[in-house]
Structure 1
Amino acid sequence: MPGLEDLSVLRVEVAEGVATVTIDRPPVNAQNGVFRDEITRVFDVLHESEEVRAIVLTGAGKTFSAGADLRDRPDAAKRGAFPRHSRGVRAGFDCVMECGKPVIAAVNGAAIGAGCVLALVCDIILVAEDAFMSMTEVEVGLAGGVQHVLRHFGQSDARMFLYTARRLSGVELHRMRVASGCYPKAELLAVAQAMAKDIAGKAPLAVAAMKRAFTLCEYMPLHEGYRFEQTQTAALAKTEDTKEALAAFAEKRKPVFRGR
């Protein structure tokens, strides 16, 4: 794909409006500076790619991502090392949340620490039955992930998860409503790609507006958030895609969207 020819730890494939991004950094898809640079670049490019309307993020092999590569930790004795490192870590998550295309996490295996957070910043989470999530920071004398965990877990479950570093299986994550679906590992990627293809078939401007609303309204008061959503609907009503969608509905045919 143009702009993504020289990747070393990520693979990107595009078909039928869906980009599948695969973390491929053996043995456990740990996240280091190269990973963070590449994922930021990948999602920035996909954000602006008209041929991509939805994204699936998954891991190669048996692991989604085992988290931060501890060999890549900043030296606490060096001034400025931690702020610079932390900024890069945030960018590696923010690029997924800020991407204008919906992102489905296909959690195929262990998602630990930063790997767990990477799944939690996606729009939709699907898990393999034998996958698991774990936040192990308290076991290595660190802390982090509270804000992202609280977006998906209830208060008691979030505290249990973070205080104990317990592994939560795909089945448990689905039961706790952290994941939208739990599937045999052999079926997971196909299910995620089919869901992404379904999203890619919807009016792209409307989907983009919906994602903006999710991102911006999450911490807004109800009145202000809903008012923002209404401005999106009013703007969409003037687009060619919305007019095409309404005409196709009336004529009982499949719409043809052009993103304008």
Structure 2
Amino acid sequence: MGVSTTDPADGVRLVTADYPPVNALPVRGWHALADAVRAAGRDPGARCVVLAASGRGFNAGVDLKEIQRDPGHGALLGANRGCADAFAAVYECEVPVVAAVQGHCLGGGIGLAGNADAVVAADDAVFGLPELDRGALGAATHLARLVPPALMRALYYTSRTVTAAELHRHGSVWRVVPRTGLLAAAVELAAEIARKDGTLIRLAKAAINGIDPVDVRRSYRFEQGFTFEAALSGAAGRVRDTFGAGDAPPRGTGTADGTTP
């Protein structure tokens, strides 16, 4: 259990998160993931990073049970800082990052996938932000990088999910493949990128980040201010206490049902 880094192809670094059963990451997990992505990007031999996960799904967000066990706000603050660290590490990685997404990509998973340079998804992948059903806010910044603005708002307010096929139609998923071929497809794309000159690919990543219309780090931290307000007002706790108590799973947009941890 934890985060590991391997070299599946020349110039490619594979960073894999493994936090059973559903890859809901504890505070230390978010920071470990951030450290691994940054280290992979700094590796002079790396020209592309693949971000993947073991198990049922890509990422189920933060470990809400860790937050529920904390009588104060330390775990919440830790989770928010950890998420911000991991999301920024993906976006600011010195080389392009390809996210390999299977199963559920929820909450913090959207922050990771939305900040990646490209997404390859399994045909069973679903993407969404069940934040309002979990006593939380945030990552609208990253969902807006995957779907058009009006759809982002509807998905956020309803906690519904979209499928990999739907995101492919929007152009935010590069390829949709059978789950058994997901890692191979992601590494194939990464290897194609990694055949570029290492200096040029780093300059290209910095240049593209520099022309983004939204500062994703600042935008996400702005959202987190409302997460703190929800916690202090008691609204977050009221909703969070219902988590796991028979609440319905996130619903799909009509073409598929969502996945819940």
Q: Distance in 2 between matches of 1:85 and 1:108?
A: 23
2:12/2:50 contact within 8 Å kept? yes
Tell me the equivalent position of 2:154: 160
Aligned CA distance change for structure 1 residues 170 and 80 (closer, same or farther; 3 Å)? closer
Tell me the equivalent position of 2:112: 118
Q: Point out where structure 1 has 5 or more consecutive residues left out of the alignment.
A: 1-7, 221-260
2:38/2:93 contact within 8 Å kept? yes
Q: Does 1:9 align with 2:2?
A: yes
TM-score (norm 1): 0.76
Q: Distance in 2 between matches of 1:93 and 1:70?
A: 18
Q: Does 1:200 align with 2:212?
A: no
1:128/1:188 contact within 8 Å kept? yes
Q: Distance in 2 between matches of 1:170 and 1:138?
A: 22
Structure 1 vs Structure 2 CA RMSD: 1.9
User: Map of 1:56-95 to 2, 5 A cutoff?
Assistant: 56-73=50-67, 78=72, 82-95=76-89
Q: Which has the larger radius of gyration?
A: 1
Aligned CA distance change for structure 1 residues 82 and 33 (closer, same or farther; 3 Å)? closer
Aligned CA distance change for structure 1 residues 79 and 196 (closer, same or farther; 3 Å)? closer
Alignment counterpart, residue 42 of structure 1, candidates 32, 36, 43: 36
CA displacement 1:124-180 (0-9 Å, x = unmatched): 011111111111011123211111112232111111211111121111121222212
2:67/2:75 contact within 8 Å kept? no
2:34/2:89 contact within 8 Å kept? yes
Runs of 4+ in 1 over 3 A off after TM superposition: 74-85
1:9/1:23 contact within 8 Å kept? yes
Aligned CA distance change for structure 1 residues 81 and 112 (closer, same or farther; 3 Å)? closer
1:74/1:85 contact within 8 Å kept? no
Tell me the equivalent position of 1:18: 12
Tell me the equivalent position of 1:190: 184
Task: Tell me which amino acid in the other structure corresponds to 1:204.
Answer: G
TM-score (norm 2): 0.76
Q: Distance in 2 between matches of 1:91 and 1:104?
A: 18
User: Map of 1:249-260 to 2, 5 A cutoff?
Assistant: none
CA displacement 1:75-97 (0-9 Å, x = unmatched): 88747765554222201110111
CA displacement 1:99-132 (0-9 Å, x = unmatched): 1011000102110111122111111011111111
Tell me the equivalent position of 2:227: none
User: Map of 1:107-146 to 2, 5 A cutoff?
Assistant: 107-146=101-140
Tell me the equivalent position of 2:169: 175
CA displacement 1:19-54 (0-9 Å, x = unmatched): 111111111111111211211211221122112111
Task: Tell me which amino acid in the other structure corresponds to 2:106.
Answer: I
Q: Distance in 2 between matches of 1:148 and 1:70?
A: 20
Q: Distance in 2 between matches of 1:122 and 1:174?
A: 15
Q: Distance in 1 between matches of 2:137 and 2:40?
A: 31
Alignment counterpart, residue 102 of structure 1, candidates 91, 96, 100: 96
Q: How many residue pairs align between the two structures?
A: 213
1:53/1:199 contact within 8 Å kept? yes
Tell me the equivalent position of 1:33: 27
Q: Secondary structure at the match of 2:87?
A: helix
